[in-house]
Amino acid sequence: MAGQIQDAAAKLSSNELKSAVEEALGGRYSKDRPQRMVADLTGDGAQYEWDTATLTGWQPGFSRIVGIEYPQGQRPPAMLENDDWDLYEKPTGVWLRFRFALANAQVGRVTFTAPHALDASSMPDADFYAVGSLSASLAARKLAAVYTQIGDSSLSADTVNYRTKSQEYMTLAKRLEQDYANLLGTDPERSAPAASRTAAWIGDTAGGGRLTH
């Protein structure tokens, strides 16, 4: 990412670059291509609802159910219809409620969406370049804001130069954002399959470290 934004003056700290990566992963990228999680619910013949807080990875306000296989293990998989279950709100939280009790020892396999981990550990390698472009776009916007503030507070002849620099970073941010959409395949007019590009990651195991360099 550092190479994409060309911040030779080091206006952004390493923590600010890391913040841009985390914002990209937990924000737009998670909305465009959320992580898919799976949880198994074992029936006892009487229970028909489960607190979504017990589903590891479930994020209130973000997660949604993609599908429920029941009983789990059949070939082909037996998927429940949408009217066989519902998300029911209680004062204590949101519960997954089935139209019937799950049979004793039978498993309902729930697939749901969740935000990506901020260390990029849940991000597929194929999305490396796309998320890198989005992170760089957010960093470029931060730089544009920095140069705007410097220009507004300066009374010197450099004010025009600072404002030009700000405009250049905003232009770069928009181009990088478009690159992200193209690489991820979210732009209907110009999309390139993200899987067509791969990356060999070198360095820290945390995604933030890989993406900021």
pLDDT classification of 11: cutoffs 50, 70, 90: confident
Residue that is written with structure tokens 């020892």 in the block: 105
Nearest to 199 by CA among 135, 145, 124: 124
Q: Domain limits of the chain? A: 2-32+119-212, 35-114
Helices 128-153 and 14-24: angle between axes, nearest 10 degrees:
130
pLDDT, tens digit, for every residue of 140-159?
A: 999 998 887 765 555 555 56
Residue 159 confidence (pLDDT): 60
Percent of the chain clearing pLDDT 90 (strictly above):
69
34 upstream amide cis, omega within 30 of 0 = no
What pLDDT band is residue 187 in, cutting at 50, 70 and 90?
confident
Q: Dump pLDDT digits (tens) for 52-108.
A: 999 999 999 999 999 999 999 999 999 999 999 999 999 999 999 999 999 999 999
